[in-house]
Structure 1
């Protein structure tokens, strides 16, 4: 499976100077937020691959103008060819506005998903806008990552975690890829291609974490 992940800045090669070959053999497009909804709609027009997305902290306009032909996976688990993708958009709250959350609020969102997580027996890919706490995040509140994302990876051991929000011009804080335990962490800034072998997915399923309890919170602390 080939996945195209995008975030934060519209790729000129995919929009201004559109080159259809850039979408060849792409099975799924995943947006990690802070992108023009018209850009996502444009991509959906020129590919048979589903375009799924979470919202970034600058995506308030999605409420009035959602991307046409695209699928929002906020607070949901989207399954594609047996691969389960969990979506949690937004950033750390640094002012009043939509798509921003405190750590407590993000944890509450995750806990509300415990029945979906149990039904799907976890997930394979975590899709967010913000990074995880101390995984290439920033020291300032707007770019601080969420601890609950690390908790999710600890509990469910997903194969992949893709996020945006950390731009290439952020210097040492920007890394395209790293690892967190057994999870591959990818920054989706602009565009990036990820190839996942079906055998790797199957092997990861064997290592998945415990099922979610039917009652109580996932991460009560």
Structure 2
């Protein structure tokens, strides 16, 4: 499965000079936050691949103008073609506002997912906005990573941990990818592509089930 990762800055190739062929061939698109919702709507319009997203700390506009045709995976596990994707958006709290969390608050979000993690028998890709503490994060409070992400990756050993928030333009020495045990950690800044295949020995839920459970409940009069 070929996946396009996005975060923090709109790619000029996909925004200013967009053409549908530039996203052809991707099975899934994942946004790690802090992107114009209309950018995501545009991409979703021209692909049949699901476009998943979590919130960045600057995505307050999503509260009244969310990206259309896209799927929010905050505090949830989305399974697609056998790949289980866990979403935990937001940054370390540095001021009042939505999509910002203390270490304790983020750890509580993870604790509330324990039953779902057990049901899905873990996950293959962790999608966040902020990085983990000590994994290419910053020393300043706004760009500090979460220690609980380290524990989550150590416990479940997903194939990928993808995040945004720390722009690669901040520091020329920031790596695009690094390893934490058997997990590949990817900074999704602007755009980056990865490939992953599901475990052939694990039962797969049908794709329609994932999409059906996200439909709004309509009461019948």
TM-score in same-fold range (> 0.5): yes
Residue 106 of structure 2 is aligned to residue 109 of structure 1: no
C-alpha separation between the residues in 2 aligned to 1:143 and 1:91?
7
C-alpha separation between the residues in 2 aligned to 1:87 and 1:106?
12
Residue 54 of structure 2 is aligned to residue 54 of structure 1: yes
Partner of 1:21: 21
Residue 192 of structure 2 is aligned to residue 192 of structure 1: yes
C-alpha separation between the residues in 2 aligned to 1:115 and 1:195?
28
SS of the residue aligned with 2:87?
Answer: strand
1:69 and 1:182, CA in 2 relative to 1: closer, same or farther beyond 3 A?
A: same
C-alpha separation between the residues in 2 aligned to 1:132 and 1:122?
18
Q: Per-residue displacement from partner, 1:4-37 (whole Å, max 9, x unpaired)?
A: 0000001111111003222121000000000011
Deviates more, 1:44-53 or 1:172-181: 172-181
- The runs of 5 or more residues in structure 1 that have no matched partner are 206-221
Q: CA deviation at 1:174?
A: 2.3
Does the CA contact (< 8 Å) of 1:74 and 1:89 recur in 2?
Answer: yes
TM-score (norm 2): 0.89
1:163 and 1:2, CA in 2 relative to 1: closer, same or farther beyond 3 A?
A: same
C-alpha separation between the residues in 2 aligned to 1:96 and 1:173?
31
Larger % of helix: which? Answer: 1
Q: Per-residue displacement from partner, 1:69-124 (whole Å, max 9, x unpaired)?
A: 00000000000001000000000000000000000000000001111111111101
Partner of 2:130: 130
- The runs of 5 or more residues in structure 2 that have no matched partner are 203-221
Does the CA contact (< 8 Å) of 2:82 and 2:199 recur in 1?
Answer: no
C-alpha separation between the residues in 2 aligned to 1:157 and 1:39?
32
Q: CA deviation at 1:173?
A: 5.7
Following TM superposition, the consecutive aligned residue runs of length 4 or more in structure 1 with deviations greater than 4 angstroms are: none
SS of the residue aligned with 1:202?
Answer: coil
Q: CA deviation at 1:203?
A: 7.8
Partner of 1:44: 44
Q: How many residues align?
A: 202
1:91 and 1:158, CA in 2 relative to 1: closer, same or farther beyond 3 A?
A: same
TM-score (norm 1): 0.89
Does the CA contact (< 8 Å) of 1:54 and 1:89 recur in 2?
Answer: yes
Aligned CA RMSD, in angstroms, stands at: 1.3
